Structure formats: C-alpha cells, structure tokens
Amino acid sequence: MSQITAPDLEPGRVVADRDVALAYATDYSHGSTAPDDFLVVRARDRDDVVAVLEHAQAHRIPVVPQGARTSLCGAATALEGGIVLNVEALRSTRIEVDERYAVVGPGVNTAALKQAVAAEGLFYPPDPASSPMCTIGGNVATNAGGLCCVKYGVTADYVRGLEVVLAGGEAIRTGRRTAKGVAGLDLTGLFVGSEGQLGVVTEAVLKLVPAADAPLTALATFGSLEQVTRGLVALRADRHSPNLIEVLDHASLQLIQQVEDFGFPADAQAALLVQSDRPGHTAEDVQRYADLLTAAGAVEVAVADDPQEADALMAGRRALAPSFELKGPHFIEDVCVPVGRLGELIARAEELSARSGVDIVMSGHGGDGNLHPTVFYAEDVPGSRERAEEAFESLVDLALGMGGTITGEHGVGALKRQWLPRELGEAELARQRAIKAMFDPVGILNPGRPL
C-alpha cells in the first residue's frame, strides 16, 4: 500500500492494482526501474490534472507527467516515487482545415493525428520513429524530431499555442491560433522541449501544411566515410531540399542483411537514403540527388521509379530496429554533430568499438547530423554492460568534442543529466534553473531530470 496521499478524484482515476501501476513506473530507457513507493493517476481531463498538481504542491509530492512512456532518456520514469500523472486519455482532436491547424490533447497518438489530417489533404510533418506508439504530449515535451526534420523541422516549428497546467494547479494558455503573432514573449517555445519540468501540457495547437506527393527514394552505397560526408554536403546544398536523408554505417548494413537480403555490397562502408516529396517534381529531384551522390563517389545508386519501389528501398532502413532486437540487449544513443563531421564521428565510433570490444552501430538522420549510435552488451557476460555504458559515455564525449550536442531529439531526461553542465556551462544552467524555480517554486515537477 502506498504511503503517498492521493488527490480527491473520481473513482478509477487512481490505479489501485500494484501490478498495473508497475507498468506506468518506467519508460523505454535502459536501466529504468520502478521506485519503492509511487502512485499512478490516469487523468481523464484538465480538471484531473489541476487537482493532482494542486494536491501535489500542497503536500510537496513529486509529480512525473507521462504519456505513452516511449522516452529513451528516462524522462518519464518515476525516479523519486511520488505521483505518476498519466495523460494518455486526453485525446480530443479538432482539425481546422481552412485555417490549417489542429487542436489536440496530449494523449493523441502521433501517427493517428498524421492519418487524420492526411484525410483532409493536410500534413503534420514531425515523424519520430516511435510515432505508432508515442503521443503529442511527449513530442511537445521533448521537441521530438524524426526522419523528415531535414526539410520540415521539428515539433517546435509546428506548435502555435499550448494549454499548460502549472505546478500549483493554475491553467494558462500560451501562443495563439493565428499563423502570425509576436505579442509578448514566446512562452510556448519555453514549454516545448522542457520535459515536463515547467508544467503539464493539456492541449496543443499544431500548425498543418498542405499534403506533399508520395515520396520517391534513392539509395546509395559508398566505399568510404569521406565519400559519405561529401554526399551529405552536396545534398544539403541542393536548391530543393530532400525531405529525408538517412545514413547507415557498415555495421548497420551487416545487421540488416541478417534480417533479409537487401543486396547491400559486402564491402560497403555506409549507405545514404534520400527522398523527395516535392509536388510534381519527385522523379526529377531524386535523379538529381542520385547524380550528386555518384559525383561524391557512390559505388552503387538505386533510384525508385514509383512509390512502391521507393517503399522497397526504405524497407532496409525499417529492418534496422528489428535487427537490434535480434542481436540482443542494447542502449540507443542520441547525439548531433555538424554535418561536415558526421563521417568523422562514425569513424571514431568504429575505432571505439574495435578498442573496447563493444559492438556499436551508427545510424540516423544524416541530413541534420543527428545520429543514434546503438551500443550492445551481453547480459550473461560479466562486465559487458559496464563496458557498454563506458562506450555510451565516450560517444557523448566525442559529440561534445566535435561541437555537437548531447541530444538532438530524444531529450536529456535522467540519462544525460550529468553532461548538461558541460554543454551549457554553469552560467546558462543557473539561468535555466531560475526559470524552472519561477514556474515550479516547490520543485515538484519531474525531479531528477535536467534542471
């Protein structure tokens, strides 16, 4: 029985079954474990969120805002116990077709929203790989990105306004629903990416854009990482940006081949996948991209002539995640470096892997320098996990040393908190903590996270 006092809510809001509650105590991050004492509230509406935060502040109880628990950085785990506030049930959706925006609850599934607006001839571009599972609230909390960021940007580029409940239970609205507006400071931008440390989002106004064409794809393989870097630089300089540029290193290609034979050359050091969805120009663009990659030194380039072939070329990229599960336990990293140093980062990771004996697979969003190194370990080998964790830390150090960041899109959470002072510096970190204290003076919101 939990010793934490529960807020006064309708029956069924507080999870009474311990086994059910345990499913809400952790997220997808490695090392995520349930605390000894915590309480789960499944909110049904904004009033529930207000009641929980009023109660929590009055009794100084930590609160962990939570959606679908797909965080890979420990942002949604009940580290210090307290109240886990799950908002998955807040799923209201209204699409304003003429004004090109949607008003949605934080529990709306990202893929479902994309499908709903597509039926209206519109497009919501942010596309994290977890979109079939993750929710808009989590996307806002982490400023989620995805495969198409290189052309369309990240979640922050599509949030026009928010409804947020603050630590004491006060509900505020930020931003606006109009396409333009510069009145006052940008509080909306402050909440996007704040990982639930400043307030709990209960509604988001999201910008929509006209639907693009079905994309066409080119797949290029390379004999060296220097050629890959040249190809990336050339693609980014093109007058019509690809909507996707994905990179796969040699280890990625080998793993994918174990799932299915996609015909990657055995000696290929890396591959680039590039797409165009520009209305009326997809075939023209993809052929131009292929020519650029050939000029950069690609060994082989395959170009799709229709959406079905394009999907077939992308199938190898989609096979990567299943190949991770087949290989064994792993950590998924998230770092971002200047695009011109991406090939160097991959090469340094390969050296680290050879030196440490830890398998590291490098893949991710080549167009914006955001890679997701995946570090493997063996549960039945003494010291294997510890060596993998050391390699994980070395990769973060490498990214920072190249002028990069500790996280491009997954967030800081609990997992990367130790590196935040190094990236931000103490002066900036102190100012951010002062902002946190203004919104959450008692410090109940998502303790143990970055600030």
**Residue 2: its pLDDT value, please?**
65
Conformation bin of residue 193: beta by default, left when phi > 0, alpha when psi is -120 to 50:
left
Place of tokens 């131009």: 288
Pairwise CA distance, residues 246 & 342, whole Å: 12
Domain with CATH 3.30.43.10 in the chain: 18-86
Residue 3: band (very low, low, confident or very high) from pLDDT cuts 50, 70, 90: confident
Closest CA to 435 of 190, 202, 196: 190
Q: Which amino acid is at 128?
A: P
Percent of the chain residues topping a pLDDT of 90: 80
Q: Which class in CATH covers the domain with range 18-86?
A: alpha beta
Long-range contact set of residues 19-23: C-beta below 8 Å, sequence gap at least 24: 21/84
Residue 422 clears pLDDT 80, i.e. is over it = yes
Q: What is the pLDDT of residues 137-191, one digit of tens each?
A: 999 999 999 999 999 999 999 999 999 999 999 999 999 999 999 999 999 999 9
Residue pLDDT, tens place only, 77-119: 888 889 999 999 999 999 999 999 999 999 999 999 999 999 9
DSSP letter (8 states) at residue 110 = H
Class of the CATH domain delimited by 216-321: alpha beta
Q: What is the mean pLDDT of the chain?
A: 94
Which part of the chain is CATH 3.30.70.2190? Answer: 216-321
- Domain with residues 328-443, CATH architecture: 2-Layer Sandwich (3.30)
Could you give the maximum distance between any two Cα atoms of the chain, in Å? 67
C-alpha to C-alpha distance for 136 and 373, rounded to whole angstroms: 25
* pLDDT higher than 60, residue 231: yes
Ranges of CATH 3.30.70.2740 domains, the chain: 328-443
Query: What pLDDT score was predicted for residue 26?
Result: 82
CATH for the 93-210 domain, from 3.40.50.10610, 3.30.465.10, 3.30.2130.10, 3.30.9.10? 3.30.465.10
In terms of Cβ atoms closer than 10 Å to its own Cβ (0-12, 13-18, 19+), residue 357 is exposed
Q: What band does 74 get if pLDDT is binned at 50, 70 and 90?
A: confident
The answer to whether residues 299 and 269 touch, using CB atoms and an 8 Å cutoff, is: no
In the chain, CATH 3.30.465.10 sits at 93-210
pLDDT digits (tens, 9 = 90+) for 354-392: 999 999 999 999 999 999 999 999 999 999 999 999 999
**What does 297-353 look like in DSSP terms, one character per residue?**
T-SEEEE-SSHHHHHHHHHHHHTHHHHHHHH--EEE--EE--GGGHHHHHHHHHHHH
Nearest C-alpha neighbor of 142 from the set 87, 34, 88, 67? 67
